[in-house]
Amino acid sequence: MCFSHIHDDRKLYIVYMGAIPRKDNYSPTSHHLNILQKIADSENANQFLARSYKRSFNGFAAWLTDKERQNMADLEEVVSIIPNVNLKPRTTESWDFLGFPENVNRFLLAETTITIGVLDFGIWPESDSFSDKGLSPPPEYFRDACRGGTDFICNNKIVGARYYNSSTTARDQNGHGTHTASIAAGNAVPGVTFDSIQGTARGGVPSARIAAYRICGEKECPTADMLAGFDDAIADGVDIITISIGYDDPLDFVDDAIALGSFHALKKDVLTVHCAGNGGPDVKTMESFAPWLLTVGATGTRRNFVDPVTLGDGRKLTNRMGASRRSRSGPVRVGSVQIESVWFGQFGSVPVGSVWFETGWFDSICNRSVRTEPNPSERRGVAINTFETTASVPLAYGAGNPNCEDNDRRVCKPQCLDETLRGKIVMCDQPPSYDDLNRVGAAGLALLVPTNDTSHVSGLPEADFTGSGYALLQEYAATQDPRITIEKSSTVVDEASPYVASFSSRGPNSFMPYIMKPDVVAPGRHILAAWPPNIPPTSTGSDKRSVNYNIMSGTSMATPHVAGAAAYVLSFNPQWSPSAIKSALMTTEFAYGSGLIDPVKAIDPGLVYDNNYADHVKLLCVYYNDRKKVRLITGEPNPCSIEFLSPLNYNYPIIAQAIDVSKSTAIDLSFRRVLKNVEFNASMYTAKVDADPHVKIQVTPDSFVFEKVRDTRLFTVRVTGIYPSDALLLSSTLVWSDGTHSVRTPIVIYKS
């Protein structure tokens, strides 16, 4: 931030004050300065004010000492003091993979009225993905939202652009923002190529508009700027917000800039789509918990990459060489649901066969039709290597600077790489810097990676291996004059897809055990999308290549897929609430509830689980049990005087609860839900339950008739039984069907 030189003893904090007070002549900025002058005891307190949040909610960012921060927290009008930290990014064919072809039925007139706000690293406006050819002028309310800097020009596609203290332009200087924006709403651009890949690159809603809010510098994203982006995006009038940025660790709502910003967006009927994070495969790595957020995990598509590798003795490490010796395959039963073809092999250094229910079980909740691991293929080289074949090049392992320890040379620490590696393929047990390898003239890289389901664009000839594949290389490297040939990458069909990507963060919810996350999954592996041509595809200094489209992986890429799908649903149903759109995407996926999205089905779900703003306020009242805090957040004079809400009755499209089996193994839980009819025809729905054998599930009533659109019907679900000692979860499914529509609701009881 540009004010950091003021005082070394001050740090930047966000002073969150909730909703803007409904008072005549109230000036947020004046109020903020008055507070600062009182707390800082200085007539020049304005020098400590970094930013006022005054368009969509109330608060400010300021440079404070520790004592001032403590005194500020004691003020009646302050909800929370949030440290400014740097958040991180969670980094064509994918839409077809979702059953969403280029010629899908569209309501183009409505699509052109939708604006997606992208809070990210900015955007590259000259990309063909953002051409405004054939688009009408932007909505009137966005005419004053283009403030992208002197080198930035908006058009009828990019209708808004802003930047904040961490940058001086809305122009993307990282690549991440351009990539995510084009996935959500980029034009259909035919003839796009990335090495051997070619085809049409397109976003989910090519006729929709984009407003780009550059909340990040070149690498990281301050939370003060994140809230500023929310403040502007809500006031500018965006319809959907997509965020592919996240915290390293989950935070309570009042300390989480994304949860707070999205709550105020919800009040304006703006849905926020957020990434689950890239902390997988470990459990409890989810960073997006707020029930009003649409949280997205990542799957693959049918595209995968292989790097054919030949050793000097003629052995080839190319295609699938079979599962590891610890592997076995076959159907696995999770509750009453059978997961086909889950592979039990090495999961990095952890044998999945012995801990699968510790690392993979929440995928079965979030997406019971999605496998958690592909065939390990451990001897296959995986990377996206666009370089020409390196024929019979010397292989070096543990070589380099003789003054380094053996282990330091094997992990390729920078100081251990020297000129003796020139012209050789270097084996590394940990990811090295491409710049360091190029500095010493290495011919290529053979890298040990924890999982092989995701490839990355390489900065020099490279092949990556897990498990026995890398062990084979280690043995071969110890022979006399080892040599290796790494061929250019080729694409293969990933027959195991779809499965949840190993990097995709897992649940359960650390704060609300009755809210299961992530909500849905979408393609996030090997996604080809727009890229600034002045930034190399690996973003390293030694990489001199220029591309207009690049391949990235992460929940960052899955999130804009869902934002585009949400915009598509909104274009057909402009009166729907954010909760209705979310429900439609969660209950109409390909096979089992809350899994891989199906945008075409989601425009006509039949029924939805709807929530309004007051429902979310009720939940906050129960969660915090602090009337003052909720009053400040909402701006309502007495928000917790409304009907008490049991958390189990919060109208979420997933029914879930944790059980403390150390106290009792008896299960007797009741949940209440309300379904709203979104069809114009009268219809009769009947309930069908596929229950885990350890529980009995009773739905009351088990059928009902909807006579007209917007009719609502209440039902209860009672789950009884005894929790078995050897189970981590009990997974069941409730399906409401009228013969045409199937509204799927997972029912999950799990061990806390």
- 469 pLDDT tier (thresholds 50, 70, 90): confident
551 membership: H or E segment, kind and range: strand 549-552
Measured distance CA(498)–CA(442) in Å, rounded? 37
For 89-105, give the DSSP string: E---HHHHHTT--TT--
- Torsion, Cα 398 402 405 411, to 10 degrees, reads -40
Say yes or no to pLDDT of 397 above 80.
Answer: yes
Higher per-residue confidence, 433 vs 668? 668
Residues 295-305: tens digit of each pLDDT: 999 887 777 78
Amino acid at 306: V
CA distance 349 to 184: 35
* Token reading at 315: 């052995």
Q: Please say whether the beta carbons of 529 and 563 come within 8 A.
A: no
**From CA 601, how far away is CA 608, in angstroms rounded?**
13
For 221-290, list the strands marked E by DSSP. 221-222, 240-243, 245-246, 271-275
Those residues whose C-beta lies under 8 Å from the C-beta of residue 746, and which sit 6 or more positions away, are: 365, 368, 516, 592, 593, 594, 654, 655, 656, 731, 732, 733, 734
Mean predicted confidence (pLDDT) in 111-134: 95
Which of 566, 549, 634 has its CA nearest to residue 605? 566
User: Is a pLDDT exceeding 50 seen at residue 376?
Assistant: no
| pLDDT value at 343 more than 60 | no
- Among 120, 236, 519, 692, the active-site one is 120
pLDDT at 78: 95
182, 130 contact by CB (below 8 A) = yes
Rounded average pLDDT over 273-293: 88
Residue 183 tokens read as 């996935």
Mean pLDDT computed over 22-44: 87
pLDDT at 325 over 50: no
More confident residue, 244 or 144: 244
578-587 helix and 555-572 helix, angle to the nearest 10 degrees: 110
Of the candidates 502, 492, 494, which has an alpha carbon nearest to the alpha carbon of residue 451? 502
Instruction: Note the pLDDT tens digit of each residue in 53-112.
Output: 999 999 999 999 999 999 999 999 999 999 999 887 765 456 565 666 677 778 888 889
pLDDT value, residue 502: 81
Stretch 355-365: mean pLDDT, rounded?
25
Q: Examine the residue annotation and report whether 176 is marked as an active-site residue of this protein.
A: yes
At 370, the pLDDT band (50, 70, 90 cuts) reads very low
pLDDT confidence of residue 364: 26
Asked whether the predicted pLDDT for residue 633 surpasses 60, the reply is yes
Q: Catalytic pick from 31, 32, 176, 264?
A: 176
Look at residue 339 and tell me whether its pLDDT is greater than 70. no
Work out the pLDDT band at 218, boundaries 50, 70, 90: confident
User: What is the per-residue pLDDT for 404?
Assistant: 95
Q: How many residues does the chain have?
A: 752
Q: Helix/strand/coil (H, E, C) string of 355-410?
A: HHHHHCHHHHHHCCCCECCCCCCCCCCCCECCCCCEEEEEEEECCCCCCCCHHHHH
| 708-723: average pLDDT | 97
**More confident call, 88 vs 472:** 472
Nearest to 119 by CA among 184, 37, 198, 40: 184
Three-state SS for 590? Answer: coil
Query: Which range (86-95, 101-110, 437-446, 502-511) has the least confidence?
Result: 86-95
**pLDDT value of residue 594:** 53
| 513, pLDDT greater than 70 | yes
Environment class of 313 (CB within 10 Å of its CB; exposed 0-12, middle 13-18, buried 19+): exposed
CA distance 490 to 469: 18
Give 557-603 pLDDT, tens digit per residue: 999 999 999 999 999 999 999 999 999 999 986 543 357 899 999 99
pLDDT of residue 95: 58
What pLDDT is attached to residue 96? 64
What is the Cα–Cα distance from 513 to 516, expressed in whole angstroms? 7
474-488, 537-551, 700-714, range with the lowest pLDDT:
537-551
pLDDT value at position 509? Answer: 82
pLDDT grade for 367, boundaries at 50, 70 and 90: very low
Measured distance CA(186)–CA(169) in Å, rounded: 21
DSSP 95-157: HHHTT--TT----HHHHTT-EEEEEES-B-TTSGGG--TTPPPPPGGGTT-EE--TT----SS
Whether pLDDT at 1 is above 60: no
Would you put residue 191 in left (φ > 0), alpha (ψ -120 to 50) or beta? left
* Cα 63 to Cα 2, 35, 68, 222, 703, distances in angstroms: 11, 13, 9, 14, 59
- The 3-state DSSP class for residue 553 equals coil
pLDDT tens profile 524-551: 888 889 999 999 988 677 888 899 999 8
Residue 507: other Cβ atoms inside 10 A: 26
Task: Give all strands of the β-sheet with 655-659 in edge-to-edge order.
Answer: 655-659, 742-751, 729-737, 683-690, 703-706
% of the chain exceeding 90 in pLDDT = 57
pLDDT, position 124: 97
Q: Considering the chain, what is the average pLDDT of its residues?
A: 84
Query: What per-residue confidence (pLDDT) applies to 97?
Result: 58
Burial 92-128 (b: 16+ CB within 10 A, else e): bbbbbbbebeeeeeebeebbbbbbbbbbbbbbbbebb
Q: Residue 592 and residue 596: Cα distance in Å, rounded?
A: 9
* Buried b or exposed e, range 463-480, using 16+ CB within 10 angstroms: bbbbbbbbebbbebbeee
Two tokens, residue 193: 């190529």
The residue among 227 and 545 whose pLDDT is bigger is 227
3-state secondary structure of 257: helix
d(CA 451, CA 182): 28
Q: List, in order of start, the domains of the chain with CATH numbers.
A: 11-83 (3.30.70.80), 96-298+502-599 (3.40.50.200), 304-320+377-493 (3.50.30.30), 651-751 (2.60.40.2310)
Q: What would the mean pLDDT of 380-403 be, rounded to a whole number?
A: 86
Q: What is the pLDDT confidence band of residue 216, given thresholds at 50, 70 and 90?
A: very high
Q: Which residues pair with 74 in a beta bridge?
A: none
> Taking 50 as the threshold, does the pLDDT of residue 664 lie above it?
yes
| CA dist., res. 185 & res. 207, Å (int) | 7
